[in-house]
Amino acid sequence: MKVKIESSYKNLYTIAEYNQARRVIAELKEDALTVAQYARMACIEIARVNGYSLFEVITADAQTALNSRTYDRYFDGSGHIDVIISGLAKFNAPGRQIYAEFEVYLSEIWQIDGRTDVLQNSIFTEYECRY
């Protein structure tokens, strides 16, 4: 999986956090799943929780971020470093189409079990298009 450090985040990291973020990126290069596959998993959960159907992931991107709700999720010493999967998706709902921007922590995607809403800390902005 390809993950990057956004230039705006570089100023927020301490030297130790920056090194941790680089190590997380190196470890996720070995991940068998792609950013698009993780985005699809997040969209399946978003559709389930909101009662939408038939979706399409239009764009997907991954970057490192700080997440105060996680600690050492990737390896001992990774601290509060997490990965945000963000992108744009199209959902179908009865009588309307919804385009949505989403940002979901990878640590939350790993917790999806289909029974509870684990994406409670994610950002999901809808833009409704009626037809």
d(CA 47, CA 122): 14
pLDDT at 63: 94
pLDDT at 52: 86
d(CA 34, CA 52): 24
User: In which residue are the tokens 């990057």 written?
Assistant: 4
pLDDT at 130: 62
d(CA 6, CA 103): 14
pLDDT at 58: 93
pLDDT at 40: 92
d(CA 64, CA 8): 11
User: In which residue are the tokens 């409670």 written?
Assistant: 120
pLDDT at 131: 58
d(CA 9, CA 18): 9
pLDDT at 95: 79
Prediction pTM value: 0.84
Per-residue pLDDT of the chain (131 residues; tens, 9 = 90+): 889 888 777 778 888 888 889 999 998 998 889 999 999 999 988 888 888 887 889 999 999 988 888 888 888 888 889 999 999 999 988 778 889 899 999 988 888 877 777 777 778 888 877 65
